[in-house]
């Protein structure tokens, strides 16, 4: 489901969209252009479809209900569409944040997890206003390449459990999906290749009654909108001692991954982003996510590459729609989404 991360940092010619900073790619221009709107809508849809198994997997890594990961991805994407400093970048629940919060979620429960996410969001806002984001300009290119390679390896490792102890039919489905993503753009770029792969593989599984793991096998999908969640934790120094170290780790990991992903998109599109705004925007997104019982998150390089490189999206419209489509898919069309193969 996830997009293939580039193994080196380069600057291809953006297609089919123009650079993010181009006036014709403002939100207003997109809403006035059927062609640009189609690109953004399809980009948001394919990202939403790809986010579902990712969010569920990361929730399981964190040791929480799959719905916590799905709601976190929805609130992160919608909020960052307004607060972020890098247009077309996707933020949601991530594996890096899931690994950091897993110990506190398992030992202390959801209330302490949410309190940690809220504190992490506040720390991200403070750190960004103090100018931490400006340090990005001093990061050498070699570190960027290492960062991209490391994330590619992490994403690959995260997908391995989906390929172990599964029916043999999963492997040809995976190969077919990769082939569609690689070769379909040579035929046409009107429809994003990942979306075609998802639709085709789902149709094959349903029509041929292929017995492979599906999204529905991973956990229960939500049937209603997320509600306000106020963590029930004692406001004491002991509580702060429990959540502060984890919150700081979440804040730093989230900022690093988000700012480096923003820099990568800058290089790909040959444009500039507001790193300080992206930093505090991530903080605001985590605050909102925490208030709705989410597990926190940050920018996702894999989904961002799907949105920017493979779908050609260039504005906040695709980011916003990714969150909206995600919510619609899991709440309204949950029965349909449940039959999607994990392959």
Distance CA 104, CA 184 (A): 44
Residues 92 and 195 both lie in one domain: no
Distance CA 138, CA 16 (A): 31
pLDDT of residue 5 exceeding 50, the answer is no
Separation of alpha carbons 337 and 329, rounded Å: 7
Rounded Cα distance, 244 and 115, in Å: 10
> Under 8 Å CB-to-CB from 143, ≥6 apart: which residues?
none
**What is the structure's pLDDT at 181?**
87
Task: Choose the final residue of a domain: 148, 179, 212.
Answer: 212
Per the domain annotation, does 49 fall within a domain? yes
Average pLDDT for 183-205 = 85
| 161 & 207 share domain | no
Q: Is the same domain home to 205 and 121?
A: no
Average pLDDT over residues 174-189: 88
**What percent of the chain clears pLDDT 70, i.e. is strictly above it?**
89
How does pLDDT run across 91-112, given as a tens digit for each residue?
999 988 998 999 999 999 999 9
**Closest-CA residue to 151 (of 5, 254, 305):** 5
Say whether both 181 and 245 belong to one domain.
no
Cα 252 to Cα 87, 265, 330: the distances in Å are 21, 20, 30
Task: Select from 212, 242, 269 the last residue of a domain.
Answer: 212
299-336: b (≥16 Cβ within 10 Å) or e: bbbbbbbbbbbbbbbbbbbbbbbbbbbbbbbbbeebee
Q: Which of 313, 316, 317 is nearest to 14 (CA)?
A: 313
- Is 272 in the same domain as 329? yes
Tokens for 212, please give them. 């492979």
Clarify whether residues 171 and 37 are in a common domain.
no
Domain count across the chain: 2
pLDDT at 212: 82
The string of pLDDT tens digits covering residues 258-296 is 998 998 899 888 888 999 999 999 999 999 999 999 999
201 and 89 housed in the same domain: no
* Chain centroid, CA 33 distance in Å: 26
pLDDT higher than 60, residue 13: no
Residue 20 reports pLDDT greater than 50: no
Which is more confidently placed, 94 or 164? 94
Asked if the structure places residue 92 within a domain, the reply is: yes
Domain C-terminal end among 212, 241, 270: 212
Please tell me which residue, 225 or 71, carries the higher pLDDT value: 71
Helix extents (H) in the chain: 27-32, 34-62, 66-83, 95-108, 110-129, 141-159, 170-187, 193-207, 237-269, 275-291, 301-305, 316-331, 334-337
**Same domain (yes/no): 156, 45:** yes
Provide CB contacts within 8 A for 25, sequence distance 6+: 17, 18, 19, 36, 87, 314, 315
Res. 17: pLDDT tops 60: no
> Is 263 a domain residue?
yes
**Does 326 share its domain with 197?**
no
Q: Is residue 13 part of a domain?
A: no
Q: Are residues 101 and 142 in the same domain?
A: yes
> Is 173 among the domain residues?
yes
The pLDDT of 159-173, averaged and rounded, is 80
Q: Are residues 174 and 159 in the same domain?
A: no
Which of 273, 35, 271, 301 lies closest to 144, judged by CA? 301
Tell me, what's the pLDDT at 211?
A: 83
Residue 7 forms part of a structural domain = no
The residues that bridge with 91 in the sheet, in sequence order, are 299
**Proportion of the chain above pLDDT 90, given as a percent:** 45
In a shared domain, residues 102 and 186: no
Q: What is the 3-state secondary structure (H, E, C) of 144-164?
A: HHHHHHHHHHHHHHHHHHHHC
pLDDT, tens digit (0-9, with 9 covering 90-100), for 296-331: 999 998 899 999 988 889 999 999 999 999 999 989
The mean of the pLDDT values for the chain is 85
Q: Does residue 6 sit within a domain?
A: no
Q: Give the pLDDT band (50/70/90) at residue 14.
A: very low
List Cβ<8 Å contacts ≥24 apart for 326-329: 326/48, 326/51, 326/52, 326/55, 326/70, 326/73, 326/74, 326/77, 327/74, 327/225, 329/48, 329/49, 329/52
Structure tokens at 138: 């001093």
**DSSP reduced 3-state for 13:** coil
Domain extent for 148:
23-165+214-337
- Can you give the pLDDT at residue 43? 94
Whether 3 maps to a domain, the answer reads no
């Amino acid at each position: 489901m996830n997009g293939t991360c580039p193994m080196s940092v380069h600057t291809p010619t953006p297609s089919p969209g123009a650079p993010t900073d181009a006036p014709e790619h403002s939100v207003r221009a997109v809403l006035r252009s059927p062609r640009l709107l189609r690109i953004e809508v399809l980009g948001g849809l394919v990202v939403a479809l790809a986010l579902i198994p990712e969010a569920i997997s990361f929730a399981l890594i964190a040791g929480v209900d799959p719905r916590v990961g799905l709601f976190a991805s929805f609130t992160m994407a919608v909020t960052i569409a307004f607060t972020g400093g890098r247009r077309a970048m996707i933020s949601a629940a991530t594996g890096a944040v899931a690994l950091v919060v897993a110990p506190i979620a398992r030992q202390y429960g959801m209330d302490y997890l949410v309190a940690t996410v809220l504190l992490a969001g506040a720390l991200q806002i403070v750190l960004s206003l103090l100018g931490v984001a400006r340090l990005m300009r001093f990061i050498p290119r070699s570190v960027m390449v290492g960062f991209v390679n490391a994330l590619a390896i992490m994403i690959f490792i995260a997908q391995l459990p989906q390929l172990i102890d599964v029916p043999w039919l999963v492997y040809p489905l995976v190969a077919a999906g990769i082939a569609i993503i690689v070769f379909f753009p040579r035929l046409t770029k009107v429809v994003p290749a990942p979306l075609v792969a998802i639709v085709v593989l789902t149709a094959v599984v349903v029509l041929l009654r292929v017995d492979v793991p599906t999204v529905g096998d991973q956990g229960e999908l939500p049937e209603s909108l997320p509600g306000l969640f106020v963590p029930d934790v004692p406001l004491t120094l002991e509580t702060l001692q429990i959540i502060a170290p984890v919150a700081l780790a979440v804040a730093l990991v989230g900022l690093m991954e988000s700012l480096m992903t923003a820099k990568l998109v800058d290089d790909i599109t040959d444009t500039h982003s507001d790193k300080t705004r992206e930093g505090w925007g991530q903080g605001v997104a985590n605050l909102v996510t925490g208030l709705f019982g989410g597990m926190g998150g940050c920018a996702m390089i894999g989904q961002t590459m799907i949105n920017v490189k493979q779908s050609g999206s260039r504005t906040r419209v695709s980011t916003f729609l990714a969150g909206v489509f995600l919510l619609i898919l899991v709440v309204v069309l949950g029965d349909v989404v449940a039959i999607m193969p994990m392959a």
